[in-house]
Structure 1
Amino acid sequence: MTTLTKRRDFLAANSGKRAPMPGFVLLVNPRGDGDPMMRVGYTVTKKIGNAVVRNRIKRRFRALARDVLPTSGVRGADHVLIGRSDAITRDFALLKLDLTRALAKVAR
C-alpha cells in the first residue's frame, strides 16, 4: 500500500465512488491500470482545526488504513479519506467500523 502525494491523484479520486460517514468521507476510484496495488491518501481542511488537530486526525486515519485496508480495501484503486470534525472525538473502534462499512458500500 502506497500513499498518494500528487494533487492530480486526489482530483482523480474525486470522480470515483463516495461513502460519507460521521468521521470522514471515503472516496474510492479504481485506476484500471492493471496494478493490484492499493494507494491511500488523507486530507483534512483548515476548517476542521489548527495544525495539531489536523495532524492528529491524519495519524488516526493512517492507523485506520493500516488496520482495515489490507483486508477490506478495493484492489487496484485509490482510497482517499477526507476528515470531518467528528474524526477527532469519535472512538477509534467506531471509526474502524465506519471504514469497514464504507468499503462494503463502495464495493457494491
Structure 2
Amino acid sequence: MTPPEAPVDGSIACPGTNPPAVSLRLETLAKRTDFLRAARAKHVAMPGFVVQMRRRTPDETPDADLVRVGFTCSKKVGNAVARNRAKRRLREIARLTLPQLGQPGCDYVLIGRRGATATLPFSQMQTDLDRALTRLHRSAE
C-alpha cells in the first residue's frame, strides 16, 4: 500500500481540532503546600469533580505565564484502580481544556468525586470543566 501524498504547499495533511498531546505551558503540581494553598482558594463543585483555582503571587514561580494543575482523589472514590481511572479522566479533560481556557499565573486542582468521576460521560465532564472555569474566572475579576 502506498502512503498518501504530502501536500506540496507545506500545509498539514489532516488538520485537527485537538490540542497537541503535550502542552509546553501546562505543569503538574507536586508539592503538598501547593495543594494546601489551592484548598484555601475559590472552588466550584460540579457533578463529576471539584475545581479549585488560585492565583499565584509573582514571587512563587520564575515563570508567571505558567498554568499549573494538580489532580487528587481520596480513598472515598474507591480502590486504587478506581482512583487511577478517575485521575486519568481528570488529566485528559485538563489537557484538552486548560491550554485554551486556563489563565496564566493560576493553579488549578481537580478533585475526583465518589461514583461520578469514573462513570460520567466524558463530553459532560468537558462541558462541566468549561462552565466551572468560566465561573471561577468571572468571580476572580
Which TM-score tier does this pair reach, normalised by the shorter chain? over 0.9
Letter in 2 for 1:22: P
Relative CO higher for 1 or 2, CA cutoff 8 Å, sep ≥ 6?
Answer: 1
Structure 2 unaligned regions, length at least 5: 1-25
The CA distance in 2 between the partners of 1:57 and 1:74, in whole Å, is 24
Q: CA RMSD in A?
A: 0.9
Distance 2:65 2:119 in 1: 34
The number of residue pairs the alignment matches comes to: 108
Aligned match of 1:44? 73
Moved over 4 A (4+): none
Whether 1:74 and 2:94 are equivalent positions in the alignment is no
Say which of 3, 11, 17 aligns to 2:36: 11
Counting helix residues as a fraction of each chain, which structure ranks higher?
Answer: 1
Larger Rg belongs to: 2
The equivalent of 2:53 in structure 1 is 28
Identity of aligned residues (%): 48
Q: How far off is 1:32 after superposition?
A: 2.4
Match of 1:62 in 2: 91
Q: Which runs of 5+ in 1 are unaligned?
A: none
TM-score normalised over the length of structure 1: 0.97
